[in-house]
Structure 1
Amino acid sequence: MVEPYMAIALQTRMWDDWRKNLDHIRKVMGTAIGLTSLEYPVKLVALAEGAIQGFGATGPGPLPVVEIPGEQTDIIGEMAKTFNVYIIAELFCVKELEFEDRLFNAAFIVNPKGQIIYKRYKMQLEYMAESWTTSLHDVWDAWVEKKGATLDSLYPVAETDIGKIGCMICMEGGYPEISRGLALNGAEVIYRATYHEPFVGDGTWELQNRAHALFNTCYVIAPNNGVYEGKAMSEKGPFDITGGNSMIVDFKGKIIHKVSAGTDTYAAGLIDIEALRRHRTSVMGIGNFLKDLRTEAYKIIYQQPIYPKNTRLTGPAPPDRWLANQKEAYKKSVDTLLNRRIYIKPSEKE
């Protein structure tokens, strides 16, 4: 029996200083938990992508290589013990020991005992992230050889006493496959962190989060960032590049709580895992979409590859060259879709 509990999507300002960020997160988290636990106990807190390191971490200069476990996760672990909550967070530039010359973007979960119980690497990357991070697909053959091509190796889910939790990060929210992989591995709560403008204010962020929840009968906890206080993007000072709008969505795709501010704040919502489980096992119609997936009919959709695998499997990969390679790879993928007449070129004006 999983008792109902409150979850928090924590939205915080960022600096180009991970120690300062974590100190700030601790203070804001304490306030948010104190206010929210007036009704039900808070058992889950989610931080946005970049909340720990700031966006300047991936700017010009040496990359801030980190490890999981490491200094940052140790501090998060202490917070989890102090507040007796699960914490979901993210780190850039994570070194994977089996791929020492490649860096990854990772989501991780720490339990109330301060232990890391989950780690997943980002699969879908935004173009600008290609200069410093690697997708599992970029080293696909090596990954499959070392880790396997299974749901647990690609779409892992943490089984906890507050439900089964899976994670996706930022750009991955634009692809239905990521959340579906997590859901078909049992996820009941999906963490989806961060998007930037103009795709927050125009409704894309909300649309994606609600769709992931509805199509997979999952809760979605979606923390976005507060104002960026670093100088990697603005010499003048604070710059709200994400637009905030952190939210929590229920398993029917309805927003439980959304905040519109772009500064320090949070969205909080009641998570009722038993209600979700009753819905999944009793609703035979609309709103319970995994039960009648006709999987054999869908395999054909992905039989032909589109984006090339193994683009960073071997050889040196300096950041400037990675971006050049990425542009070329995107162009080839578009050409592939044109050649298959999936895409059609727009009419040219005379």
Structure 2
Amino acid sequence: MSYKALALQATCQTVNSYQTRDEVEAVMLQSIERLEKQLVASINFIGRDTLLVVVPEYFLTGSPLHETTEQWREKAALEIDGRIYEALSAMVQRQQIYFSGNAYEQDPFFPELYFQTSFIIGPSGDILLRYRRLNSMYAPTPHDVWELYLDAYGYDSLFPVVKTNIGNLACIASEDILYPEVARCLAVRGAEVLLHSTSEPGSPLQTQRKVAKVARAIENMAYVVSANSAGLANSPIPFGSTDAGSRIIDPKGLILAEAGYGESMVANADIDLAALREFRQRPAAANLLARQRFELYIQSYSEHKIYPPGTLLSQPAERQNFVRTQQEVIKKLYS
């Protein structure tokens, strides 16, 4: 099977300047309405065989700046069964696509926190997969409430993969692309197409994340569909700081398409599932997945503890505490 995927480079309408939940949700709904118009036009131009669309990280809100964890959760973190997800699901049903995005999300098991969540919505409008970002400097992650998170959802929830008629899909959020273990854990669970919502520096230089996307594709013999923001509107951060570079990369590390600066549908390309599966089933030096020897690494990982789990079980999820934890880790690493 072959189909087209689109990494839609869209502007993020930030909500930091708004105070109330109603104001923020109004902005989100306007963003969804505008996004659907872009989807319709893009699919009509690219072709009706465009079956997969990925949009940028926190595309509905931007990220918290001055807000506390409580303030951001109350005004900007989506309710799992709320009207914003309902609006997204209705949009996806109308367009009959697989749609992946990223948002801050409330969780009934952790009412004092939020998690940054990448999701996949299928043509039926159902949410097929939720992936919580695993590495973050200032936001809560499952690792920060480790034992309680495992009790609530189980270990496999950390690395979800969904089997669909357009392949085995998985999400990687933002800078998680810089951690090879994340993509590898998804690949060994069958992931064939890695959907990467990001909001990263737009630069003509070879940035860390540009390198990482190619590396993750090669290492895991997988497609990477990476959508970056086309700027941050209504934000004190300079508008074009996160712009450009949405790209689609094939399992051999070849960049099939890449967008320049500004809102763009240019990052679209064919996903050839048959070729991918044939590549993975061929005995060869290039078949890196079939040549993995995990036993070589297990002891090193088990013997070396770096960033401690469960830190938010004993302290509030505020910026100064995240910084303090990292300072302690660095001191331990280099003492």
TM-score (norm 2): 0.89
2:27 is equivalent to residue 31 of structure 1: no
Cα distance change on mapping 1:113 and 1:198 into 2, 3 Å:
closer
How far apart are the structure 2 equivalents of 1:26 and 1:59? 30
1:342 matched to which residue of 2? Answer: none
Cα distance change on mapping 1:215 and 1:230 into 2, 3 Å:
same
Query: Residue 206 of structure 1 aligns to which amino acid in structure 2?
Result: K
SS in 2 for 1:32: helix
Stretch deviating more after TM superposition (212-221 or 324-333): 324-333
Cα distance change on mapping 1:66 and 1:121 into 2, 3 Å:
same
Specify which of 53, 59, 62 is matched with residue 51 of structure 1.
59
1:110 touches 1:117 (CA, 8 Å); kept in 2?
A: yes
Cα distance change on mapping 1:158 and 1:200 into 2, 3 Å:
farther
1:218 touches 1:250 (CA, 8 Å); kept in 2?
A: yes
Map Cα deviations across residues 155-194 of structure 1 (whole Å, 9 max, x no partner).
0101111100111111111111111111111100001121
SS in 1 for 2:324: helix
2:241 matched to which residue of 1? Answer: 241
2:127 is equivalent to residue 109 of structure 1: no
2:298 matched to which residue of 1? Answer: 299
Q: 1:30 Cα shift?
A: 1.1
1:348 matched to which residue of 2? Answer: none
The 5 A counterparts of 1:72-87 are 72-87=84-99
Q: 1:324 Cα shift?
A: 1.7
Q: 1:23 Cα shift?
A: 1.5
Stretch deviating more after TM superposition (264-273 or 253-262): 264-273
Q: 1:323 Cα shift?
A: 1.7
Stretch deviating more after TM superposition (190-199 or 248-257): 190-199
2:77 matched to which residue of 1? Answer: 65
Query: Residue 294 of structure 1 aligns to which amino acid in structure 2?
Result: R
2:334 is equivalent to residue 338 of structure 1: yes
The 5 A counterparts of 1:42-191 are 42-55=50-63, 59-60=66-67, 62-63=71-72, 64-92=76-104, 94-125=105-136, 127=137, 130=138, 133-149=139-155, 152-191=156-195
How far apart are the structure 2 equivalents of 1:309 and 1:200? 37
1:136 touches 1:143 (CA, 8 Å); kept in 2?
A: yes
Unaligned runs of 5+ in 1: 340-350
How far apart are the structure 1 equivalents of 2:98 and 2:13? 24
2:202 touches 2:244 (CA, 8 Å); kept in 1?
A: no
Query: Residue 150 of structure 2 aligns to which amino acid in structure 1?
Result: V
Stretch deviating more after TM superposition (175-184 or 264-273): 264-273
Aligned residues: 317
Q: 1:53 Cα shift?
A: 2.0
1:199 touches 1:205 (CA, 8 Å); kept in 2?
A: no
2:19 is equivalent to residue 15 of structure 1: no
Q: 1:298 Cα shift?
A: 1.0
2:56 touches 2:102 (CA, 8 Å); kept in 1?
A: yes
2:119 touches 2:130 (CA, 8 Å); kept in 1?
A: yes
Q: 1:58 Cα shift?
A: 5.1
How far apart are the structure 2 equivalents of 1:69 and 1:338? 45
How far apart are the structure 1 equivalents of 2:80 and 2:236? 25
Map Cα deviations across residues 13-38 of structure 1 (whole Å, 9 max, x no partner).
12232122212211111111111116
How far apart are the structure 1 equivalents of 2:322 and 2:203? 22
Cα distance change on mapping 1:166 and 1:330 into 2, 3 Å:
same
Q: 1:203 Cα shift?
A: 2.8
Map Cα deviations across residues 38-97 of structure 1 (whole Å, 9 max, x no partner).
6xx011000110212234x554473123222322221221221111100001111x1111
1:30 touches 1:83 (CA, 8 Å); kept in 2?
A: yes
Map Cα deviations across residues 106-145 of structure 1 (whole Å, 9 max, x no partner).
01111001111111111001x3xx1xx3111100011122
Q: 1:335 Cα shift?
A: 2.1
The 5 A counterparts of 1:216-255 are 216-233=220-237, 239-255=239-255
How far apart are the structure 2 equivalents of 1:314 and 1:204? 33
1:200 touches 1:242 (CA, 8 Å); kept in 2?
A: no
Q: 1:227 Cα shift?
A: 1.9
TM-score (norm 1): 0.86
1:221 touches 1:248 (CA, 8 Å); kept in 2?
A: yes
1:201 touches 1:243 (CA, 8 Å); kept in 2?
A: no
SS in 2 for 1:256: strand
2:163 touches 2:169 (CA, 8 Å); kept in 1?
A: yes
Cα distance change on mapping 1:168 and 1:138 into 2, 3 Å:
same
The 5 A counterparts of 1:265-276 are 265-276=265-276
How far apart are the structure 2 equivalents of 1:172 and 1:232? 25
2:22 matched to which residue of 1? Answer: none
1:220 touches 1:250 (CA, 8 Å); kept in 2?
A: yes
Query: Residue 49 of structure 1 aligns to which amino acid in structure 2?
Result: E
SS in 1 for 2:112: coil
